[in-house]
Structure formats: C-alpha cells, structure tokens
C-alpha cells in the first residue's frame, strides 16, 4: 500500500496545481492502492468518495500546494475512519476491571494478554491472567509461559494428573474440551476479587474460522463475567477476511474495542481500515512482534501517516523517550555543553537505550520514507551491532574513557577478547574518533538536532 501511495504522491508533488482530472486520477490510484492492500470494497468506496468530494469542493485553495492538500484530505479521512482520537481503556469504578480477549485462533490473543498485563503492571496495576482457553491442550501452559515472561500471575483451572495437560473444570465437571471456560472465567474473577488484583485479563479460545460454537462460548463468557472491555484481537495480515471476521465478532459477542496484531509484518493498512469501519469500534492497541514489549497504544493519526508512508515518527520518539533515562539524558547534555569527550562508556549506555526500544529493524521500519528501503532494512545485519558491543566490552574502563590511548597491543588484546580482528577494532576506533569530533562541533554549535531523547 505504502509504495503505491508514495508513487501517487510523488506524481502529485511534481505538478503545480490540482485540476479535476488530477483529482480523478489520484482517486483512481488511491482506490487501487487500497484494494491492493485488501481494504474491503465498500470501505474503499466510502473512502474515495469522501476524499473526492472534499478535494473537488470549496476546500481546495488554489493558493496552497495541491499535493499537500490532497495528502491532508486523505490523511484526515483515514484518521476519521480509524477512529479519530485515541480511546484509552475504561477502568471499572469498582475494581477489578475485567478485560476479555476474543478473536480467531492464531490472531495473537494469548501473546497480547502478556503484553497488556506487562503494560498495565508498568503503570502500577496488579493484573492477573485467566486461562479460559480450554480448547487446545497446550493453551493453558502457553498462557503460563506468557505470564511468567510478563511477571504476572496466571489463574488456571486445576490440572489433572496426566502430564499436566488434562484440565478439570473449577466445578469439577469434565467436558469434551477439557473443561468449562465459563466456569473458569467466573472462578478467575472470584480469585481476582479475593487476591485484590485490580485488573483481570481473560484469554479465551479461538477457532481457525468463524463458527457458531465458538461465538456462543464467547458470548456466554461475556454474559458471565460482564467485562468492562471486550477486545477483539485481529491479525493485520488477515486481508479481505477482516470484514467477515469483524462483522461476526461484532454481531456474536459485541466487542468494545479492537487490537491489531502482527503490525510488524507487511500488511500495514488494509485490515485496520476495514475493521474500524465495520465494527465502528476504536482500535486501541497495536501488537508489533512476539516479544512482551512489542506493544503500543494505537494512534489513528499515526496509523494514517504510516499508511501514507510518512513514517511513524511520533511512535519512534515516544519509544526513545521511554528508553532513554532522564538522568542519563541530563548527563549527556552536560557533557555536550562542556564540550567534553564522548566516551565508550557513554556509547554503551546509548546502545543499551537503543536496544530497549526494540530491534533496530523495527526502529528503522518506523522511520519516514523507509517503506522504499525495505530491501536494505531486511538485509541489515543486527549481528554487526553485537560485534561492536563485544569490542567495547572487551576494553578496560581506562580504555573506554581514553580511546586515544588505545595502542597497537591494546588493539590486539581487544580483538582477541571480543573474537573480532584487529582491523575491525581499528575501524571502530577510527569511526569513533570521527564521531567524537563531530559531537564536539555540534556541542559548540549548540545542541544536537533531531536526535531522539536528547534535550535541545
Ligand atoms: P491466539 O491463538 O490468538 O492466542 O494467538 P497466539 O498469541 O498464540 O499467537 C499466535 C502466533 O502469532 C504465535 O506464534 C505468536 O508468537 C505470534 N504473534 C502474536 N502476536 C504477534 C505480533 O504482533 N507479531 C508477530 N510477528 N507475531 C505475533
Ligand atoms: Mg491463545
């Protein structure tokens, strides 16, 4: 989608003024681009209609750059369909707040349960996960692993004694599906009340396709636990099937919000548009990988920019701020102002901060214009980063703070200690020396423009 729109806008940018035929041509391209991205036809129609009306209407001012105007109109319409402002979780007046997850099998519910719990815990909540997916023998174990990774307790039905796989219900009745998810959900809620957890996240079962049994089960759980939020979890790569699936869950369970998963994959726009428009519910969170931290609050405006390949700059900055400790930032600033040497210790700190943001690839992917550089990003070798870090770690504290004193025998020792070659160490020192010089110049010039997390 992005590449296609980038092409369209490039053509527009080179023109002076928007004529009706320009608009029509643009609309055709946008229509094709959206269909290409598996946005459902009715959604595409509605979208292009709105854009066309506005582009041809009074709002087109001849004084402004026409391409900018169309970008703004397309962007506004995208944001509108994606849900306008961000909506946050609704917490119960009387805890615990109950959050139920629903969606097809493999959509990422269990993974999301861990991320959401981790995120809530970070904000001082005391969440508990409830294993109400009793469909697959391994589902309970999977949630337990997820909970452990997130550092959050899991409420699971008591186990039978056969390899920990058989599960009996909280009421003691066995069913074909290893237990009664409604009873387990209820018991989990009771447990949360007793143990004073302020948020309960209920992980439910999914099927590979929509089926009546699954819908009934989800509806029954919903009725039993009266959740404050029912989050519909959907894989962003699902394509055209997004419409049918979203429709079924909206009808069958009545969801209150949407979570898009696997946004780290290729399909970045289509499902988001379709689901938001079919359910009329806000997309609240985005899942961007398999790790517990690959999770973001969903921002419609940023998603719109992402679809338009303007890059998700805001998300990037937000992540950088989180990762880059304030006191570290202040210390860096002091060093800059004093035009002191940037040392390898500072460098290690920054590497750690960058790592906290997630993989370098995912960071690159969020930067503007990177849609066109996909091949290069894919070829980027994260191990290169590890080699540099190994070299720095093989330096003594003295060496880290006095890079200029690293002579030939020290270089050979560092290469040996880090499993690299002397020429690699030479290269690193050379580049580091240049970076030091550049930073000093910048410091004298007043600040370091455009570096996330850096004041000034
Ligand atoms: P569930 O059946 O809905 O509970 O789905 P799971 O949570 O078990 O996820 C199914 C698969 O998708 C697992 O292999 C997850 O690791 C993977 N997965 C989940 N969320 C994401 C995501 O945001 N990005 C990527 N790349 N993989 C994900
Ligand atoms: Mg699951």
First to last CA, the chain: 36
Tokens of 342: 């940037």
| DSSP per position, 99-168 | EEEE--TTSSHHHHHHHHHHHHHHTT--EEEEEE--SSTTHHHHHHHHHHHHT--EE-PPB-SSTTT-B-
- pLDDT of the residue at 171: 44
> What distance in angstroms lies between residue 182's CA and the mean position of ligand 2's atoms?
16
Euclidean distance between CA atoms 292 and 157, whole angstroms: 24
> What distance in angstroms lies between residue 121's CA and the mean position of ligand 2's atoms?
21
Name the residue of 101, 108, 144, 285 to mutate for ligand 1: max ligand atoms within 8 A of Cβ: 108
- pLDDT of the residue at 456: 32
User: Is 5 annotated as contributing to ligand binding?
Assistant: no
CA-closest candidate to residue 419, choices 389, 385, 387, 395: 387
- pLDDT of the residue at 161: 30
Q: Per-10-residue mean pLDDT for the chain, 456 residues long?
A: 60 56 74 75 85 71 54 77 82 96 96 97 96 89 95 83 36 52 95 96 89 91 96 90 91 94 75 88 92 90 67 49 58 65 79 67 60 61 79 91 92 94 92 77 54 39
User: Is 415 annotated as contributing to ligand binding?
Assistant: no
CA-closest candidate to residue 203, choices 215, 224, 223, 188: 188
Atom of ligand 1 nearest to the CA of 295: 23
Atom of ligand 1 nearest to the CA of 294: 23
> What distance in angstroms lies between residue 203's CA and the mean position of ligand 2's atoms?
7
* Residue 256 φ then ψ, to 5°: -110, -15
Q: Is 1.20.120.140 the CATH classification of the domain at 2-81?
A: yes
Q: Which bin fits 349, alpha (ψ -120 to 50), beta or left (φ > 0)?
A: alpha
> What distance in angstroms lies between residue 145's CA and the mean position of ligand 1's atoms?
13
Euclidean distance between CA atoms 256 and 280, whole angstroms: 9
Residue 135, ligand 1, Cβ within 6 A: no
* Residues 134-137: contacts with CB under 8 Å, at least 24 apart: 134/167, 134/177, 134/178, 134/179, 134/180, 134/181, 134/184, 134/205, 135/177, 135/178, 135/205, 135/206, 135/207, 136/105, 136/205, 137/165, 137/166, 137/178
Residue 277, ligand 1, Cβ within 6 A: no
* Residue 301 φ then ψ, to 5°: -65, -35
Residue 287, ligand 1, Cβ within 6 A: yes
Euclidean distance between CA atoms 179 and 167, whole angstroms: 6
The answer to whether 103 touches 109, Cβ cutoff 8 Å, is yes
Residue 106, ligand 1, Cβ within 6 A: yes
Q: Helix count (H) and strand count (E) of the chain?
A: 20, 8
- pLDDT of the residue at 365: 61
Element (H, E) at 233: strand 229-235
User: Is 188 annotated as contributing to ligand binding?
Assistant: no
- pLDDT of the residue at 5: 60
Residue 2, ligand 1, Cβ within 6 A: no
Q: List CB contacts of 383: < 8 A, sequence separation 6 or more.
A: none
For the domain made up of 317-445, the CATH class stated in words is: mainly alpha
- Architecture per CATH, domain 97-309, reads as 3-Layer(aba) Sandwich (3.40)
pTM of the entire structure? Answer: 0.65
- pLDDT of the residue at 323: 57
> What distance in angstroms lies between residue 134's CA and the mean position of ligand 2's atoms?
9
* Residue 264 φ then ψ, to 5°: -80, -10
Nearest ligand to the C-alpha atom of residue 143: 2
Euclidean distance between CA atoms 410 and 412, whole angstroms: 5
Q: What is the ipTM of this complex?
A: 0.99
Question: CA gyration radius for the chain?
Answer: 26
Name the residue of 115, 207, 290 to mutate for ligand 1: max ligand atoms within 8 A of Cβ: 290
- pLDDT of the residue at 53: 82
Instruction: Please state the domain extents for the chain.
Output: 2-81, 97-309, 317-445
DSSP classification of residue 198: S
């Amino acid at each position: 989608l992005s590449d296609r729109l980038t092409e369209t806008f490039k053509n527009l940018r080179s023109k002076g003024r928007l004529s009706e035929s320009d608009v029509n041509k643009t609309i055709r391209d946008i229509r094709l681009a959206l269909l290409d991205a598996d946005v459902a036809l009715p959604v595409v129609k509605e979208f292009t209609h709105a854009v066309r009306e506005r582009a041809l209407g009074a709002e087109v001012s001849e004084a402004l750059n026409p391409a900018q105007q169309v970008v703004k109109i397309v962007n506004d319409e995208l944001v509108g369909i994606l849900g306008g402002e961000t909506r946050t979780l609704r917490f119960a007046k009387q805890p615990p707040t109950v959050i139920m997850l629903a969606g097809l099998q493999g959509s990422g519910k269990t993974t999301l349960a861990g991320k959401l719990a981790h995120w809530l815990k970070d904000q001082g909540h005391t969440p508990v996960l409830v294993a109400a997916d009793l469909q697959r023998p391994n589902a309970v174990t999977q949630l337990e692993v997820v909970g452990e990774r997130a550092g959050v307790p899991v409420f699971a039905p008591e186990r039978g004694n056969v390899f920990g796989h058989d599960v009996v219900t909280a009421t003691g009745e066995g069913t074909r599906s290893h237990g009664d998810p409604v009873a387990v959900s209820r018991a989990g809620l009771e447990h949360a009340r007793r143990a004073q957890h302020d948020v309960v996240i209920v992980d439910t079962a999914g099927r590979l396709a929509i089926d009546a049994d699954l819908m009934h089960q989800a509806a029954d759980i919903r009725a039993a636990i009266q959740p404050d939020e029912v989050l519909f979890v959907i894989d962003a790569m699902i394509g055209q099937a997004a419409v049918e699936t979203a429709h079924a869950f909206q009808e069958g369970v009545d969801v209150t919000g949407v979570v898009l998963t696997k946004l780290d994959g290729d399909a970045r726009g289509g499902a988001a548009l379709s689901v938001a428009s079919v359910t009329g519910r806000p997309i609240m969170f985005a899942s961007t990988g398999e790790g517990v931290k690959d999770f973001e609050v969903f921002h419609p405006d940023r998603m719109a920019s992402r679809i338009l390949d303007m890059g998700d700059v805001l998300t990037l900055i937000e992540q950088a701020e989180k990762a880059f400790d304030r006191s570290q930032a202040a210390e860096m600033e002091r060093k800059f102002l004093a035009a002191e040497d940037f040392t390898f210790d500072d460098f290690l700190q920054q590497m750690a901060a960058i790592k906290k943001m997630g993989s370098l690839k995912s960071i690159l992917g969020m930067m503007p214009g990177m849609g066109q550089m996909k091949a290069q990003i894919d070829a980027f070798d994260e191990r290169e980063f590890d080699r540099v870090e190994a070299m720095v770690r093989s330096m003594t504290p003295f060496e880290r703070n006095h890079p200029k004193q690293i002579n030939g025998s020290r270089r050979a020792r560092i290469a040996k200690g880090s499993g690299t070659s002397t020429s690699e160490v030479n290269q690193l020192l050379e580049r580091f020396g240049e970076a030091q010089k550049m930073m000093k110049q910048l410091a004298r010039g007043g600040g370091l423009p455009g570096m996330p997390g850096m004041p000034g």
